[in-house]
């Protein structure tokens, strides 16, 4: 396993390039755990390794899964009945923990639902399985004041998926509060895969003190 620190993810790099810092609202750094030709088991191990580092930063670290649909759903009785939690639980195992209400976003293209779960524990297999089912799902960590109102505001507005990396709405929250965002890198046929934790530079320095700088 290779551990790397990317001081500014808005700059072009070989791991994950985000939006410009001006769009994010600050400079966000990344701490990455990577492996070559990773299997699903290795990907799960890398996520567990990074989440262990993050939990070590503070006894008050809490993990949340921001959950949503990544495609517009048709407006019909079944979709409106299943909403978010019921529709996802029929396709994969949801992490244990308190769930938010389900927020409806509608347009002429259909409907989407968004919400979040406070994870009682990080079971990497369940988290990655859910992300594979719905790409709009994003794991985050918080420390400090209760973030529930902020997360509810994000879920109420929903989010769009960029070409690479987590949604802009969630990344912006990492500039406003004590919050970090997990991202998987190296999908499909990439040789190197792994997990990147995205946060303000001082938190990355605290969580990855011995990692090599990229």
pLDDT tens across 121-146, in order? Answer: 888 888 888 888 888 899 999 998 99
- Give the pTM: 0.93
Residue range 166-170: mean pLDDT, rounded: 95
pLDDT higher than 60, residue 188:
no
**Cβ contacts of 93 within 8 Å, gap of 6 or more:** 126, 129, 130
- Tokens, residue 137: 């799902």
pLDDT greater than 70 at residue 187: no
127 vs 141: CA distance, rounded Å:
13
Helix (H, G, I), strand (E, B) or coil at 152: helix
Beta sheet of 2-6, edge-to-edge order: 103-107, 110-119, 62-68, 138-142, 179-185, 192-199, 29-36, 2-6, 212-213
Domain ranges for the chain, please list them.
2-208
């Amino acid at each position: 396993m290779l551990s790397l620190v990317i001081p500014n993810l808005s700059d072009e790099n070989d791991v994950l390039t985000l939006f410009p810092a001006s769009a994010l609202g600050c400079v966000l750094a990344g701490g990455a755990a990577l492996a070559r030709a990773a299997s699903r088991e290795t990907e799960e191990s890398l996520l567990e390794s990074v989440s262990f580092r993050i939990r070590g930063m503070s006894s008050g670290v809490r993990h949340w899964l921001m959950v949503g649909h990544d495609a517009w759903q048709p407006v019909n009785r079944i979709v409106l009945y299943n909403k978010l939690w019921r529709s996802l639980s029929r396709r994969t195992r949801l992490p244990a923990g308190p769930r938010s209400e389900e927020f409806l976003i509608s347009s002429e293209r259909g409907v989407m639902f968004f919400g979040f779960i406070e994870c009682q524990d990080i079971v990497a297999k369940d988290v990655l399985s859910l992300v594979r089912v719905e790409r709009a799902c994003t794991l985050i960590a918080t420390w400090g004041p209760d973030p529930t109102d902020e997360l509810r505001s994000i879920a109420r507005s929903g989010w769009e998926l960029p070409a690479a990396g987590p949604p802009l709405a969630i990344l912006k929250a990492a500039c406003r509060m004590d919050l970090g965002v997990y991202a998987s890198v190296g999908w499909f046929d990439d040789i190197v895969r792994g997990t990147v934790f995205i946060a303000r530079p001082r938190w990355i320095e605290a969580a990855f003190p011995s990692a090599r700088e990229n």
